[in-house]
Structure 1
């Protein structure tokens, strides 16, 4: 036994001298200085953003009816994209970032996988491992083979977004998470970029340290496996550094923060295609027109899609979306090889056919693709008497723009379903146009003719509708020269007509994008030996028609209860707020909360955001933080975020007036009816 006296003597014997303490202090200063230099040399944001907490709950898919087979395929079917800018095996090996780079330095313990619970806090949805998802990736992320990564200077498998990444919704009510196939995603891709950068940066930092390299050690072991040795680790460290240096140059300019549930898809597609893919910085445009991710059900049968009713052909829309989330496309090869891409046209066509189903007029006037979700039986019961009152109000106030209810006979009338008519030239046996042979063509199938409401009439935020009108791109040297269809005035008024598109230094963004995607699709057809006669089927039997500046489309409201936040830019949290006068709509909207407000129908707003709205006069727009406790705070005073328009008001002069001011009973009656749709 050691006596107290002996122990005390022992401690006294090893008491540090002033000289020893000074040496330790100097060494500590040197280490800290070197760490500071190392952190600075990474040149990338090493501190991740604050994120909401995540709660694991039982999942229930709300709208599986009408789908052929398992929706897992849709969730993980590759579009040929490489959205996440690192090799696939890196992504699986990457640890979640520590809250501070200094905590990241002391990384003796594993922080858990980036692709585990951490990415779910960014709004992604958990998906179990399966035959179509062997690595258990979240919904909307798929593996794409054979993508070139400049940082590693070779091809590798990539992780890219699928359609489901932006078009699968979720909501939490009680102790269950409800999944809405085809609904608006609750992700925040801006925070994803920051988080991935921090995780990579902390790993790169660890690779430069001697005693604090645990994070890199674990990363290397997972990536290299049985090939882990001093040579391969050195090469991996170099590849990581090269990748980081490339990512530094790709920082976005954000004028209007997107936040949870929103994305400035049009500008991002344009930046990817005309700036990054072309290497032409002059074509870059800041992010300034975010929209709520649109829902997909019924969309395949619309005559025009996108919020601004700008695109007609399904394959143009879908390939353009794939290019926007980083499918590879070659714009520098000789003309007969140009526009070769990694876009998986086979899957894009299959996805569209799966979503659309068969012609509803050959199916007893019923949709049989992806169906709108039905109000779950586990939700609070619908008040049927109140819903009947709301049905009458819907017919009076809403049906004129949004069309009659989908289940009604009137909805299926020829007034609302018509073939698409367009003008084009006839072609000879060699597929050459015959001069002077222009005729009117009509599609065999009928499509739902949507109302597109001019901006001055609807009065909602104009930012997204103006993107294709005001943005120009320098397309010189691309040889986009092709034909696109667009509204043209002739003796009978506006008609859809194929016109020759020519390259220009100030090309209209909308028409240039349509021509770019047309060339990409045609190159894929050529490389895969698709006969001319077979191409229209892959294109959805519709022309490549584009229009800009028409306004905002009013789509049917089937399943609208599951699509919050509302208005095209997500500036209104609930249907109740949307049916309220402008002065009653909250100035600040909290996005990122997955809890569902079943009474007001939309995204539940916390007590803190309600206090924000009470003292909004004291909060300057310039100094209102974008995030609070991990959730996005949308400030509707900012251009691009305005919650104006689509108003129910007694003010006869109000821009965007839809109808008179509604009573509380009328608002809840309409809400109850919309729950039934």
Structure 2
């Protein structure tokens, strides 16, 4: 009994969250969009990321800090400032967003909910949920379209579970059930009566039971700004959608939400340079944030999904713009420029930093996008591949990125190993389809066949391809249009190549750094391993314009501190990232004079050299 009560109390107790700080909002990089960015911020991908119907979410009150207090007093609505404390960005009500949902949340009609055994309007993540950044500076909040989100989805899961669970508990009492009473009035409206209330109670309880069976195993806490996206996509596609629990993998390789300007023109995307085709990337992401897909129907209709392909394709067109080489500048979503309201750039120091960049950074991260050299044939290449024995080449050129092998860069390997090492059971799914992968140093199409130990990388590419092909069929898409809708690139996958080095345009606004977000500032990124903090704090949105990154507390913690009983993963609602844990390591990409330093990419930089390079990075 004691254990059951303790478990109930844990599930119904919300996490501690940082306070929300209201501030004037300033959009930094909206000039490249086709129209107002509000559409991008709330365009549905066809997902049901939050596990309860939309009208339930809007009726839910924020949780009491203790479940034993649910019988007294009314709380503010969950979707008010409380939701913003998870790192979401406030929005005002508009015709396209009548309930003033934060950036990144979108509604999708007619989604089936197992708990209530019927369809309802769902609430899910839009592309902007993970790819809209924010930073606070001198009392103003700067919004960065396409930037790294500062949300914490683990805290969102726990707080939503507590708020929902407290409402379910309230519904079980004949008296002192004010929390459920108010919830029922908001949900049922004019249809509020004893019969509909009893039905609502049953649906609440059934949904809670369903959710209790589908909780994640977290080996490495993600925290603010990070998500183990690849493992979560794999779990959603090959466990949840297939109802095949043997395919589940624990969450253990979080990555920083990536910024996405310029990305549309890369030859390979993802931190590990594993995916080539835009539609595969985007549809896979939609499946990962819980778009529905049918895996059990007859083969002719299998892989039908709720993905909103019209929006996915338009979003990609927004991001990409027209091919940039003719004008020698990107014309879709553009990197943010250093605001005039920020500290003035020291141009003499910036010139020194430009020389340091050219000497130590350019070989991997390419010349700055403003230079003529960046736009030459040296860096822009057509993609060559073999299909059915025939050599083919894409019509357009794409930016050829350097993918640095793990044995050279020595950053945390966890994310790069997911696609290379994970296997999934696809037996009976009939994924059989042609996909492209490197063979004998060439990209070659092969036929993927189901297996009990399928390569996760190839299985995921095949699964998403089948889902895309099913939509083309159902929407009567003309064959002549398919290549364009796919982004004019083949569906190529590769695994275990290392980590890609992307151009650094706008990098000043993308903290934290390294693929796993284990370094809070560019200053620390340019340092030796010994100089880097072992523990960093994430969730604070205050910008450090001097060191370029997230303001850190004066009192430095080490790994031992955060493993003692007096500390947990969080302190005052902010996440403490322990870099001594696999998946969180801040190793590699080192500037050091020690020839034995692992992941060394350059000599040790003086404080003056670091500051000069930082000054230059503010300008590109």
Please say if residues 42 and 205 of structure 1, whose CA atoms lie closer than 8 Å, have aligned partners that are also in contact.
Answer: no
In structure 1, distance between residues paired with 2:556 and 2:414? 28
Match of 2:83 in 1: 119
Please say if residues 329 and 369 of structure 2, whose CA atoms lie closer than 8 Å, have aligned partners that are also in contact.
Answer: no
Query: Are 1:161 and 2:107 matched, yes or no?
Result: no
Match of 2:614 in 1: 671
CA shift, 1:624, in A, is: 5.1
SS in 1 for 2:128: helix
Please say if residues 297 and 355 of structure 1, whose CA atoms lie closer than 8 Å, have aligned partners that are also in contact.
Answer: yes
Query: Are 1:443 and 2:394 matched, yes or no?
Result: yes
Please say if residues 533 and 556 of structure 2, whose CA atoms lie closer than 8 Å, have aligned partners that are also in contact.
Answer: no
Please say if residues 105 and 206 of structure 1, whose CA atoms lie closer than 8 Å, have aligned partners that are also in contact.
Answer: yes
Match of 1:53 in 2: 19
CA shift, 1:152, in A, is: 1.1
Please say if residues 480 and 502 of structure 1, whose CA atoms lie closer than 8 Å, have aligned partners that are also in contact.
Answer: yes
CA shift, 1:611, in A, is: 3.6
In structure 1, distance between residues paired with 2:467 and 2:230? 18
Change (3 A) 1:409 1:333: same
Query: Are 1:67 and 2:33 matched, yes or no?
Result: yes
Change (3 A) 1:212 1:166: same
Show structure 1 runs of 4+ deviating over 3 A. Answer: 36-44, 616-624
Q: For residues 501-543 of structure 1, what are the alpha-carbon distances to aligned partners after superposition, in whole Å with 9 as ceiling and x for unaligned? A: 1000000001000000000000001011112221111100000
Please say if residues 308 and 464 of structure 1, whose CA atoms lie closer than 8 Å, have aligned partners that are also in contact.
Answer: yes
In structure 2, distance between residues paired with 1:569 and 1:644? 11
CA shift, 1:270, in A, is: 0.2
Please say if residues 435 and 462 of structure 2, whose CA atoms lie closer than 8 Å, have aligned partners that are also in contact.
Answer: yes
Match of 1:335 in 2: 299
Which sits farther off after the overlay, 408-417 or 131-140? 131-140
Match of 2:484 in 1: 537
SS in 1 for 2:290: coil
The one of 126, 130, 135 equivalent to 2:94 is: 130
The one of 50, 53, 71 equivalent to 1:105 is: 71
| 5+ long unaligned stretches in structure 1 | 1-32, 426-437
In structure 1, distance between residues paired with 2:217 and 2:114? 23
Change (3 A) 1:651 1:252: same
CA shift, 1:211, in A, is: 2.4
SS in 1 for 2:325: helix
CA shift, 1:105, in A, is: 2.6
**TM-score, normalization: structure 1?**
0.90
**TM-score, normalization: structure 2?**
0.98
SS in 2 for 1:442: strand
Query: Are 1:85 and 2:30 matched, yes or no?
Result: no
Match of 2:372 in 1: 409
Q: Number of residue pairs matched?
A: 620
Match of 1:294 in 2: 258
Please say if residues 44 and 197 of structure 1, whose CA atoms lie closer than 8 Å, have aligned partners that are also in contact.
Answer: no
The one of 360, 382, 403 equivalent to 1:419 is: 382
In structure 2, distance between residues paired with 1:393 and 1:97? 52
Please say if residues 9 and 67 of structure 2, whose CA atoms lie closer than 8 Å, have aligned partners that are also in contact.
Answer: no
Match of 1:488 in 2: 439
SS in 2 for 1:85: coil
In structure 1, distance between residues paired with 2:567 and 2:391? 55
In structure 1, distance between residues paired with 2:499 and 2:396? 24
Please say if residues 314 and 539 of structure 1, whose CA atoms lie closer than 8 Å, have aligned partners that are also in contact.
Answer: yes
Please say if residues 621 and 635 of structure 1, whose CA atoms lie closer than 8 Å, have aligned partners that are also in contact.
Answer: no
Match of 1:582 in 2: 529
Q: Aligned-residue CA RMSD in angstroms? A: 1.5
In structure 1, distance between residues paired with 2:463 and 2:413? 25
Match of 1:22 in 2: none
Match of 2:356 in 1: 393
Match of 1:21 in 2: none
Please say if residues 42 and 201 of structure 1, whose CA atoms lie closer than 8 Å, have aligned partners that are also in contact.
Answer: no
Q: For residues 171-226 of structure 1, what are the alpha-carbon distances to aligned partners after superposition, in whole Å with 9 as ceiling and x for unaligned? A: 00011001010000000000000000000000001101122211101100000000
CA shift, 1:127, in A, is: 1.1
The one of 301, 314, 319 equivalent to 2:283 is: 319
Superposition pairs for residues 542-621 of structure 1, below 5 Å?
542-607=489-554, 610-613=555-558, 616-617=559-560, 620=563
In structure 2, distance between residues paired with 1:509 and 1:43? 38
